[in-house]
Copies of this chain bind each other. A is one copy, B any other.
Amino acid sequence: MIRIGIVGYGYWGPNLVRNFFALSECDVVAVSDLDSARLSLVSRQYPSIRTFLGSTELIGNLAIDAVVIATPVHTHFDLAMSALKAGKHVLVEKPITSSSEQAKRLIQEAEKRGLVLMVDHTFLYTGAVQKLKEEVQKKTFGDLLYYDSTRVSFGLYQPDVNVLWDLAVHDLSIMSHIVGAVPREVSATGRASMPGQPEDAAYLTVYFDTSIAHVNVNWLSPVKARRTVVGGTGRMIVYDDVEPSEKIKVYDKSVSLGTKPDDVHKNLVSYRIGNMESPRISDTEALFSEATHFIDCIQRGTSPLSSGAQGLEVVSVLEAANRSLSDRGAPHLVNLE
């Protein structure tokens, strides 16, 4: 039985506690927060869980095997490093750290100690993204042409990171998971609408060797959208996470070069349009699948899908994106060595 301690009971923490609590393979034994009012919520709902004001005692506690960190980004590195050094397995909120340098050090520490280091790239554990990956890997999909995502909503400014580090991180992890191509270079533009606050709208292009990705993220959109289009030479897939059902639609559409121009447009491109299919998707809560996977990796000593290495890749792209953002879109290489 893996004993879990959770650091941070703010916005995301309650979801983590609820899901780990529901898992029979582990025990949530402790929760910490800096705010005692939040801790009394824990005690009311889960009388069996011990609470700690501040993380130090929790992380140092010998009766805890694994630590889940759900705190602001700038605290991730210190908390995760302390936990690893205390011999705990670690699951940390996304993005893994504030810098690639920090991510590398966590990875090294975890490797050295043989501990699981996992980052909470939640979307990888949704039925929709699992199905998306399956569809992209089919022969009929062909080669990837582009990945184009819009992830916008109203509210939920983050105080310590910009909107790319908050929202584009989801797309970068999904791309890493389903595409597997290496992000070579980025161009990012954006805008900070509120004086003294981070960028709330940003547009990121990622160049792979033979395809391109684009991500539009915004904290100030009046309507929520989480719409991703993945275009292949044989199929085109729309993943709309706001849809209550039919989140994935696979379009049998493709284009090809002809040898003589059409009548009306005088061009050489011809189109094939077939049926659309929307595969059934598992509706298990993503965080439950993720919690299960974390416990499973600990028990088997295997590496998680959303490993420290993937966390590092995502942060490396975000670092390049920040540099490009300062340069008003000038291309910056992703430093991946």
Contacts and interface: CB of A to CB of B under 8 A. Distances in A.
Interface string A191-232: 101111100010101010001101010101111100001010
B255 A157 contact: yes
Interface string A266-283: 111101011111111000
A180 interface: no
Most buried by B among A158, A263, A266: A266
A148 B218 contact: yes
Given A194-B255, A255-B194, A271 B238 contact: no
B214 A203 contact: yes
Contacts of A22: 45
Contacts of A267: 157-159
Contacts of A329: 187, 189, 205, 324, 329-331
A103 to B, nearest CB: 23
A257 B197 contact: yes
Interface in A139-155: 145-146, 148, 150, 152, 154-155
Given A11-B264, A148-B201, A159-B267, A221 B231 contact: yes
Interface residues of A, number: 85
B278 A277 contact: yes
A158 B265 contact: yes
Task: State the copy count for this chain.
Answer: 4
A323 interface: no
A113 interface: no
A328 interface: yes
Contacts of A146: 191, 193, 201, 218, 220
Contacts of A72: 266
Contacts of A48: 47
A236 to B, nearest CB: 4
A229 B221 CA distance: 8
B253 A236 contact: no
Contact of A220 (B145, B203, B261): B145
Contacts of A63: none
Contact of A148 (B216, B257, B327, B331): B216
Closest 6 A/B residue pairs (Cβ): A187-B329, A222-B236, A222-B251, A159-B267, A189-B205, A328-B331
